[in-house]
Structure 1
């Protein structure tokens, strides 16, 4: 006995077939085998459920999600109850208009299953959710040339969320021989703390934990040589006092 294709499956039946496959009601599966419009509807829904299964960042749903889903399903149910039956292309267009409710139901099921993904992915585009930087600038220093050099540079000190400090040093060029080293020192250059070599035009180095920056306010960039001596060469090329940003 051939299935009656003059009356199409409901949106709920199409959604169940898209999710459950061959385990859905055998009578619905028999109708599906004879009805091209219903098969097309299942194919569309399966494309959506495929997107739901893709791994993406899980975001918390907004408080208004459930009320929007319920309102959509109530409106769809009321429209189907009040609308006259239609055949052919008119019925197909009506189903497309009401598939939104079925898709909403699928989204709810996905949320309840632990994959709260697609239903809330649009939150990424919310204007008031702009990403914030985890680094805070706490000080800057203009590095002025010392001893007639043509170099220039800038230093920026930043603090991360754990309170760790880093110093980014940007110089206009590197040394032709030897290397550049960055230090924090006092105003009189009698006490110095090495932070490391400047290996590129923009280098980030760690600031030792517990270092009193009030006692070492000056950023010093020296010209060092591969002589095995870890102390300052006394050849300062750039220097500048760190100005606090009040962070």
Structure 2
């Protein structure tokens, strides 16, 4: 199954999936998981900041800020220890009872002192959202690949495994062979090969462990000349040549 490209996954996460993409998601758990992960980033980016829901930072955080900025001793108290901020009531005009008027400068300083926790909280929320957005964008850019060839791997006599091979073209121009296999009845270790149709010329890409392996294809290797994907059973004899005992094999179809 050919998966959706990163651009289509991003559009699905933004709620702009086309009918074909929606149909693909209904049957592909891998692409659905990718869209779900991207939707979390979209939701975080669209959600309004809620500084009141942020946890209260430890007192040593303010102590570090105070020392780094060289603030005065009057500002040494952790602002989060102050009472929650509320809009200050309007300053009333002096009455005839003889009460002294409240200096405007004092009111302004008190407001700024009460607002500091909210300012710090909003700044922290902005940093979190910016980091989430950067992570999402960098992941989409880094994961930009296109499947340019694929084949289902068939078992050879004496084996019952099944598998698949896909060639991924990365955005940097490099190519990878992605091989999956259901299991291994190998007596030794499994080795992945690209083989020419004459079955004489072949290139080893590396050994495979588990059910999936990713192998870099040499830049100068022409897949038209080496279209056969082969997984062999290799004994631990130190001989680097093909054992002649193949487990799975298939011919790439571009």
Q: TM-score, normalised by structure 2?
A: 0.52
Instruction: Provide the C-alpha distance between the structure 2 equivalents of 1:155 and 1:169, rounded to a whole number of angstroms.
Output: 4
Unaligned runs of 5+ in 2: 1-87, 93-102
Unaligned runs of 5+ in 1: 10-26, 59-116
TM-aligned CA deviation for residue 208 of structure 1? 0.9
1:50 to 121, 124, 128: 121
Q: Is the 8 A contact 2:186 2:233 kept in 1?
A: no
C-alpha distance after superposition, 1:103-148 (max 9, x if no partner): xxxxxxxxxxxxxx59xx89999xxxx9464111111111001124
2:90 to 2, 7, 15: 7
1:172 to 175, 182, 188: 182
- Counting matched residue pairs gives 155
Instruction: Provide the C-alpha distance between the structure 2 equivalents of 1:238 and 1:200, rounded to a whole number of angstroms.
Output: 15
Equivalent in the alignment of 1:204: 214
Equivalent in the alignment of 2:155: 145
Listed as ranges, the matches of 1:157-168 within 5 Å are 157-168=167-178
Instruction: Provide the C-alpha distance between the structure 2 equivalents of 1:47 and 1:136, rounded to a whole number of angstroms.
Output: 46
Instruction: Provide the C-alpha distance between the structure 1 equivalents of 2:89 and 2:248, rounded to a whole number of angstroms.
Output: 86
Residue 127 of structure 2: SS of its match in structure 1?
coil
2:225 to 215, 228, 237: 215
Which runs of at least 4 in structure 1 moved beyond 4 Å after TM superposition?
121-125
1:155 to 165, 168, 186: 165
- Does 2:141 match 1:135? no
- The alpha-carbon distance between structure 1 residues 32 and 240, as it changes in their structure 2 partners (threshold 3 A), is same
Listed as ranges, the matches of 1:30-69 within 5 Å are 30-31=106-107, 39=111, 43-44=114-115, 46-53=117-124, 56=127
